[in-house]
Amino acid sequence: MTRLSEIAESWFGLCRKPPVVRTLQADFVHLPTTAHEGLPDGGSGGTGAIRRGIGAAFSGMRTLNRNRQLLWFGLLAGLVLAGNAVGEGALRYINRTLQPDIIGLYAQDFFLGFATLFCLVLLLAGLFLSLSSMKEGAAPFFEGFAGAKKYWKPLFLWSIILALAGILLLKIFFNVILVWFPQELGFLYHFGPGFITSTITQFPFNWTLDWAMLTEIPGYGGRSLLLWIYPFGLLQTLDFLMIALFLVILTPFVVPLIVLEQKTLREAVAGSFALIKKIGAEAVTCAAFLGIVLFGVFLTHLIVQAASGIVNPYVTVMFHPTTTWIAIAILYNLALVAFVFVVATVGGIAALDLYRHAKSEGSAG
């Protein structure tokens, strides 16, 4: 007890008034002993960074649990991506009929990607504004979303930049890496696009176990035109989403700097890179933790396969699931999609927590 009193006297004796511990919104609290952990140049690392990154994810979960209105963000984001899948399917059908040149194809990809990103960026801005204007513990999402309209110009420009960068990265990935990739390392393809393609043809994602799902052209031989949306449009949307997430993770604080500090786009981009240097380890840890949670839930499809007896659908060429298993597969897919967008909402809340932490690190420094 004597030792504790000495420490308390030496700590509180540094200033005339006892220090006040201010709790950040969404319960993201940093104790004085960990507030300045990190490298001398402002970076962070070690177990403290891992703890803060995972803590930001759990904090986002608690905030979402207390503010169910924020689920509108995930629902609307899901509708935007569903619209992207429909658009991708429609463009693929139109391109098969009209056969436009390469410039027309790039223009189509750009406008569809830009429209999707602009809607997602506006929703993200609304999420940040609603969290920053919490009243009595409640975060009204639609009030924040309405306030995001004031910043449509910089968000519009930022969406154009993201769309151009996304198209460039996507073309580099498919036209350079997949073409010039060494054959000795070809097995790595099965951990990316190959994994997605092979998984989507299996039960419960391909709930009818139709072998012609990816081999026949829709519209011929009685094939439904809806196949332009699923799986063709969905696969294109997943590729687009992979690139979009990569770009957002590289620049996670551009949107909050624009809508919360009224920065210009140039200042927001520079500020985001400056902040990410300070808490890069925390941001990577938070993203990796949420990704592991998501992948763990995704692996539950193996349980559905085992329970249905459809472990290897390629062996059961003539097998078709019963109506009951088809209904279970559809419900499973809906639940999985809902969980994905709940995790996306948690990630958005955690990004704001990390942004506040980075700003507090800068103020303390």
Coarse DSSP helix, strand, coil percentages of the chain, rounded to the nearest 5 percent: 75, 0, 25
Which residue bears the tokens 């551009």? 254
What pTM, to 2 d.p., does this model score? 0.79
Q: Any idea of the CA torsion for 164, 286, 23, 130, to the nearest 10 degrees? A: 40
Report the C-alpha gap between 7 and 15 in whole angstroms: 14
Which residue bears the tokens 């919490």? 134
Decide: 293 and 285 in contact? Cβ < 8 Å: no
Which tokens sit at 300? 């539950």
User: Smallest Cα–Cα separation from 138: which of 74, 69, 72?
Assistant: 69
User: Smallest Cα–Cα separation from 174: which of 192, 159, 198, 160?
Assistant: 192
Which tokens sit at 290? 């949420």
Nearest 5 degrees, angle CA 272-CA 249-CA 287? 120
Decide: 153 and 268 in contact? Cβ < 8 Å: no
Helix (H) or strand (E) holding 24: none
Which tokens sit at 184? 């000795």
Decide: 355 and 275 in contact? Cβ < 8 Å: yes
Decide: 350 and 60 in contact? Cβ < 8 Å: yes
Predicted pLDDT of residue 13: 39
Which residue bears the tokens 């008034």? 17
Regions of the chain short of the pLDDT cut 70: 1-46, 135-137, 176-194, 209-225, 311-319, 362-365
Decide: 355 and 256 in contact? Cβ < 8 Å: yes
The phi and psi torsions of 76 (rounded to 5 degrees) equal: -70, -35
Work out the angle between the directed axes of helices 152-172 and 265-278 (0-180°, nearest 10).
60
Work out the angle between the directed axes of helices 71-98 and 102-132 (0-180°, nearest 10).
170
Report the C-alpha gap between 340 and 354 in whole angstroms: 21
Report the C-alpha gap between 14 and 10 in whole angstroms: 7
Residue 129: C-alpha distances to residues 124, 150, 245, 316, 349 (Å) = 9, 11, 21, 52, 11
Work out the angle between the directed axes of helices 323-364 and 71-98 (0-180°, nearest 10).
120
Predicted pLDDT of residue 265: 94
Report the C-alpha gap between 210 and 314 in whole angstroms: 10
Report the C-alpha gap between 54 and 229 in whole angstroms: 36
Predicted pLDDT of residue 183: 63
Length of the chain: 365
Residue 113: exposure state from Cβ atoms within 10 A (0-12, 13-18, ≥19): buried
Predicted pLDDT of residue 193: 62
Predicted pLDDT of residue 289: 96
Predicted pLDDT of residue 31: 33
